[in-house]
């Protein structure tokens, strides 16, 4: 087998094309058969093809290799690195996901999240670093969210994370994941503070406007060991189940700043003073706008928000189903704009200075 060049002139320029040719014996004598047309090849491609069709045996003699022998009885070359493969009998097993988990792992390292977690969750006597366990949890939430049990039993083994992180599949158990989450919860505040500094540096974030909202998640069962589990207003329409309330504060770009886990029977109004006060104490008191649901603002909570000397924007419901934006004025009361709603910039000033808000009806 060898490469045969063909030279042609086209548009006044010489072009060289290559074909892969194989010599074979026939009843009529030796003949040459074209195996494949390779087109134009550059110097490196030509050399690679030359190395493909020529091999050296143990004695160092160069011989031609038949890539596609028609005769099944052709003897194999005297070389341990060359074998014959039956393509019809070739299969694959244990296929694993790689692209999405590799990208998530790359972002984890790019943002130095592992260093932050390891700073507050040191390895100590753990056989596996808690930072690696947290990375596995975060990557799972990003790529294919599931329970810790499903993660340990099925998901982790179906990905390429074992090769990327160097953590054996047998070491990823639901009990270890649960213990890691317990440690993560104890270090929640310190980790959030470091994340705020890290993300502010990387993405040049500002915190002059914060968005605050609540949600809830319920438990199947009695949840007797959970002190925060209680029955309350269920956003999942499961009033028969105990639940906890989750509060989240994010920037205008959607980066999380802080989160809180509250008792399941906590009313929305009762969360404002605690959340605003704690965020101000942790991240400083600056001229800031708080954006939250209308149900969190009342005559009782407005003074708490006003005590931070920051305006508060909320979209109250109107009888017609439209939403408007309101802000707390200088006297701790709500001021509604009926003509040009927007986000309040300064207490007591007109709301028209803020960005426009698009309205939509909540019903048909």
Tens of pLDDT, residues 115-151: 999 999 887 777 888 999 999 999 999 999 999 999 9
- pLDDT, residue 148, reads 92
Tens-digit pLDDT profile for residues 259-274: 999 999 988 888 888 8
Confidence band, pLDDT 50/70/90 cuts, at residue 34: confident
pLDDT over 60 at 107, yes or no = yes
- Grouping H, G, I as helix, E, B as strand and the rest as coil, residue 281 is helix
| pTM of the predicted model as reported, rounded to 2 decimal places | 0.59
Q: How far is CA 280 from the centre of its chain?
A: 29
What is the three-class DSSP state of 18?
A: strand
Half-sphere exposure of 158 (CA within 13 A, CB side): 10
More confident residue, 242 or 298: 242
Residue 300: which of 259, 270, 255, 343 has the closest Cα?
A: 270
Minimum mean pLDDT range among 25-29, 73-77, 232-236, 244-248: 73-77
Closest by Cα among 287, 228, 226, 283 to 258: 283
Summarize pLDDT for 185-208 with one digit per residue, the tens.
Answer: 889 899 999 988 888 888 888 888
- Round to whole Å and give the CA distance between 277 and 270: 12
């Amino acid at each position: 087998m060898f490469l045969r060049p063909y030279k042609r002139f086209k548009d006044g320029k010489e072009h060289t094309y290559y074909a892969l040719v194989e010599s074979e014996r026939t009843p009529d004598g030796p003949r040459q058969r074209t195996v494949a047309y390779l087109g134009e090849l550059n110097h490196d491609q030509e050399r690679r093809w030359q190395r493909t069709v020529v091999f050296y045996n143990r004695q160092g003699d160069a011989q031609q290799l038949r890539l596609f022998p028609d005769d099944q009885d052709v003897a194999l070359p005297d070389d341990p690195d060359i074998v014959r493969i039956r393509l019809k009998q070739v299969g694959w097993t244990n296929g694993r996901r790689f692209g999405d988990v590799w990208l998530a792992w790359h972002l984890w390292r790019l943002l130095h999240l592992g260093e932050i977690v390891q700073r507050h969750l040191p390895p100590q006597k753990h056989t596996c670093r808690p930072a690696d366990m947290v990375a596995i949890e975060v990557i799972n939430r990003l790529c294919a969210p599931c329970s810790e049990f499903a993660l340990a039993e099925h998901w982790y083994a179906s990905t390429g994370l074992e090769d990327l992180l160097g953590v054996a599949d047998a070491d990823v158990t639901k009990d270890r994941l649960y213990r890691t989450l317990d440690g993560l919860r104890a270090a929640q505040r310190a980790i959030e503070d470091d994340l705020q500094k890290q993300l502010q540096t990387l993405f040049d974030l500002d915190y002059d406007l914060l968005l605050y909202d609540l949600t809830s998640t319920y438990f199947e069962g009695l949840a007797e060991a959970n002190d925060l589990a209680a029955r309350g207003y269920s956003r999942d329409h499961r009033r028969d189940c105990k639940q906890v309330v989750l509060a989240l504060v994010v920037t205008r770009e959607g980066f999380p700043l802080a989160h809180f886990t509250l008792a399941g029977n906590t009313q929305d109004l009762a969360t404002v003073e605690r959340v605003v006060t704690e965020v101000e104490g942790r991240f400083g008191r600056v001229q800031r706008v708080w954006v939250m649901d209308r149900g969190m603002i009342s005559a009782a909570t407005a003074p708490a928000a006003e005590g931070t000397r920051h305006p508060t924007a909320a979209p109250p419901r109107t009888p017609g189903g439209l939403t408007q934006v309101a802000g707390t004025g200088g006297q701790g009361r709500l001021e509604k704009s009926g003509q040009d709603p927007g986000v309040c910039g300064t207490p007591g000033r007109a709301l028209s200075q803020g960005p426009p808000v698009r309205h939509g009806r909540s019903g048909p």
